[in-house]
Structures are given as structure tokens and as C-alpha cells.
Amino acid sequence: MKVDWTTFWPRIVEATGETLTMVIATLIFGSIIGISFGLLLFVTRENNILENKLLFQILNVFINIIRPIPFIIFMVAISELTRLVVGTTIGTVAAIFPMTIVASFTIARVVENNLVSIDPGVIEAAQAMGASPLRIIFTILIPEALGPLILGLTFVSVSLIDFSAVAGTVGGGGLGHIAMTYGYQRFDGSVMLVTVIILIVMVQLAQWIGNTLSKKIMRR
């Protein structure tokens, strides 16, 4: 049975809203946690401004454990934890929880990689001027890495759109859910086409925003 497009549009709009909510909320929470972890990972490295082998190893191992797990498996595997924290495993809010965890660790790695590319001499110069470690983090590390960092976050948000679709197939709602239910299970090509087009537009838009912002920050 094909859908009736005159009544189905509101459903599409609603699903698009759900997808956007999942992606944006995850990006916000994931960035807060991920940037903190990434900074922590960087400054606790050997010979860095707050060297701490234990903390570095713990963070490093955690990231290495979580990142290789395929998202769909991870989401199902931690569903009990999700229920404990969110109260349910179904719906948009429930999807945001596992998405945030995965995004946090991915962003942590992206942040760390961008920070590593900062010339250590620049940090040394700030130290030589008498800057404290915290001061260096906020006035040197973040501003110096901001351009590439935004590109990294853009890359993460594009994969979050992908994650949100995966989450949709296992009860998360959003465009993924629509595409699976109507497009895949009911063989309605038109629904599939519309959701795919919306997803493409979203990715393009995210990439455009990221590129523009980072270009503005890097000036050239």
C-alpha cells in the first residue's frame, strides 16, 4: 500500500524535526564532553603541560574500546543503561543518549588530533611568558586549533546524521524510521526517495555551515 502524500507530508516534517533534534542535541552534548575529553587527553600526554600517565591511559583505553563498536550494536548493547538514565529505550530522547556517548569519544579523538598538530613551540612560548596550564588551554590551544576543529566537528555531524538513521531503525524515530517502515518494509519508493533527498540536503547544509565557519576563522 502506497502512502497518501496529501496526508503524509506532516509525518515527513515531523520526522525531519526528530532527526534534526537528535543530531543537534547530540552535537551539543557530544561537543561539550568530547572537547573536554580531547583537551584532557592532549594535556595529559607525555611531556605535555599537565602530564598524567594514568588519566591519559584511562581515557585512551576507553576511547579505543568504544570507537570500533558498530553503532547499531553499541546502541543495543547499552540499552539497559539507556533505560536507567533516560527511562525508556524508545524514541528520540532515548536515541540521543547512546549517540552522545559515541559522539563524545569520536569528538575527543578529533580534538586531540587537531591539538597535536599545533606547533609545540607555540605552547612553549606561552609557558615562557608565564601562562598557567589552564590559561594555555583556553587562550592558546582552543583558538589555535579552532579552524580545523570546526571542520572535524562538521565531519562528526555528518556521521551523526548517519547514526540518527540507524537509531531510527531500532525505535529512535526520525527519518531513518520513516525510510525503514515505509520505504523498505512497504516497498514505497517515493518515501525512500524523499527521505534520501532530505538527508542529502541536510549533509550538504551541515558541510556548508562548517566550511564557511572554519574559513571565517582561518581567514584564508
Partner 1 sequence: MIEFKDVSKTFSLGKRDVHAVKNVSLSISKGEIFGIIGFSGAGKSTLLRLVNMLERPTSGTIFIQDIDVSKLSSKDLRTRRRNIGMIFQNFNLFNSRTVAGNIAYPLKLAGTPKREINKRVKELLNFVGLADKEKDFPDQLSGGQKQRVGIARALATSPDILICDEATSALDPDTTADILKLLKKVNRDLGITILLITHEMHVIQSICDKVAVMEDGEVIEDGNVFETFTDPQHETTQRFIHSVQSDLPSKQILKEWRSSGGGKLYRVIFKGDATNDPVLSTITKKHDVDFNIVYGAVRELQEKLFGNLIVSFTGDASAVQNVLNELNTIVELEEVIENEG
Residues near partner 1, by CB under 8 A: 119, 121-122, 124-132, 135, 139-140, 143-144, 146, 219-220
Cα 140 from Cα 120, distance rounded (Å): 11
Cα 103 to Cα 76: distance, rounded to the nearest angstrom: 16
Please, what is the minimum distance in Å from the beta carbon of residue 115 to partner 1? 13
Q: By C-beta, is 21 or 52 nearer to partner 1?
A: 52
**CB of 64 or CB of 132, closer to partner 1:** 132
Smallest gap, in angstroms, from Cβ of residue 35 to partner 1? 16
Question: What burial class does residue 73 get, using C-beta atoms within 10 Å of its C-beta: 0-12 exposed, 13-18 middle, 19+ buried?
Answer: exposed
Which own/partner contact pairs does 211-215 have at CB distance under 8 Å and 24+ positions apart? Answer: 211/151, 211/154, 213/150, 214/146, 214/147, 214/148, 214/150, 214/151, 214/154
Q: Which is nearer to partner 1, 51 or 124 (CB)?
A: 124
Nearer to partner 1, 68 or 220 (CB): 220
> Smallest distance, Å, CB 3 to partner 1?
51
Distance CA 172, CA 161 (A): 13
Minimum distance from CB of 31 to partner 1 (Å)?
19
Q: Which is nearer to partner 1, 65 or 125 (CB)?
A: 125
Task: State the CB neighbour count (10 A cutoff) for residue 118.
Answer: 15
Q: Please report how close the Cβ of residue 117 comes to partner 1 at its closest, in angstroms.
A: 12
Q: How many CB atoms lie within 10 A of CB 132?
A: 10
